Amino acid sequence: MSKQRESELAAHGFVREEGLHFPLTKKDLTTIVAAALLEDDTRHDITTAATVTSNRRARCRLVARQPGVIAGLALACEAFEQLDPAVTMRVEHVDGTRVEANTPVMFVSGHARGVLSAERVALNFMQRLSGIATLTARYVDAVAGTRAHILDTRKTTPLLRRLEKYAVRAGGGLNHRMDLSAAVLIKDNHLAAVDGDIAVAVSRARGVAPAGIKVEVECDTLDQVRAAVDAGADVVMLDNMQLMEMRDAVKLVDGRAVTEASGGITLDTVRLVAETGVDWISVGALTHSAPALDLALDFD
């Protein structure tokens, strides 16, 4: 994607123009990994304590067992470092890299007890985030050559949103609004509160939202699309529309707003949706249904 296109999308207020930058500060990274290690009670790993001597050292490699896109290396490295501050690591493939099956992603060398106790936490983070990145990349590949861009939603794991949306970026997707304060999205239940009057809803949103905040309206019908555009909405969501109706909606909008397709879009249908001419395609499955990427830690 060109820098100009990124800037155009970011200007609409829903898409974050930040590239692939790890979203956590060092303090936040330390805190979340420490909490995960505590949850697994790694300081009382009775199996490792019973079977591995304290002076035993280990060399191992983190390997992708299947093709995919890597994400979450900072979390894995932090897990190993917290249990063995003297551990050494060499990363072969950074976040956002596409790898083939049986590819070593990183090498780890340190005290065997620390590496073994941190292993599951490190893998859990990386398998989850790499799975999201991999699924996102499949959607991005499916719409290549069209004008459409793949976006995520707020259907994320509580407290892991910044990481999961980062994984979407690692896979080549874009982030929709990060939270409820980032933009106005008037959905069916909001419209019900104003008796379905889109003009009233948009007008009220303009009167309350801070300067620069964009307004999107979820539309189920062409009449709603027309009303949203006439009311000056910045983005029109085409919710669960059939392909023919979606094409008609894109023609009706005619560039006066950004068009976003949403609702039940799968890898089997995303190309057809993209070919209707929509600007964005939002897919909740990127974060709520991505299968974990098969990663493993192999000891020499």
CB atoms within 10 A of CB 18: 12
Task: Kindly give, in sequence order, each residue whose CB lies less than 8 Å from that of residue 138, ignoring residues fewer than 6 positions away.
Answer: 267
Catalytic option among 187, 188, 230, 298:
187
Phi and psi at 205, nearest 5°, equal: -65, -45
- Catalytic member of 120, 138, 256, 271: 120
- Quote the CA–CA distance of 135 and 212 in Å, as a whole number: 32
Active site residue 155: yes
Whether 120 is a known active-site residue: answer: yes
Of these residues, 98, 154, 155, 162, which one is catalytic?
A: 155
What pairing do the DSSP bridges indicate for beta strands 215-219 and 184-186?
Answer: parallel
Query: How far apart are alpha carbons 223 and 19 in whole angstroms?
Result: 37
- Residue 216 pairs with which residues in a beta bridge? 185, 235
Q: Is 218 among the residues known to form the active site?
A: yes
Catalytic residue (choose from 152, 218, 260, 279): 218
239 labelled catalytic: yes
* Residue from 78, 95, 239, 279 carrying the catalytic annotation: 239
Q: How far apart are CA 213 and CA 200, in angstroms?
A: 17
Pick from 19, 284, 254, 292: which is nearest to 150 by CA? 284
Residues forming a β-bridge with 38: none
Active-site residue 165, yes or no? no
H-state helical runs in 143-170 = 161-170
Residues that are catalytic: 120, 155, 187, 218, 239
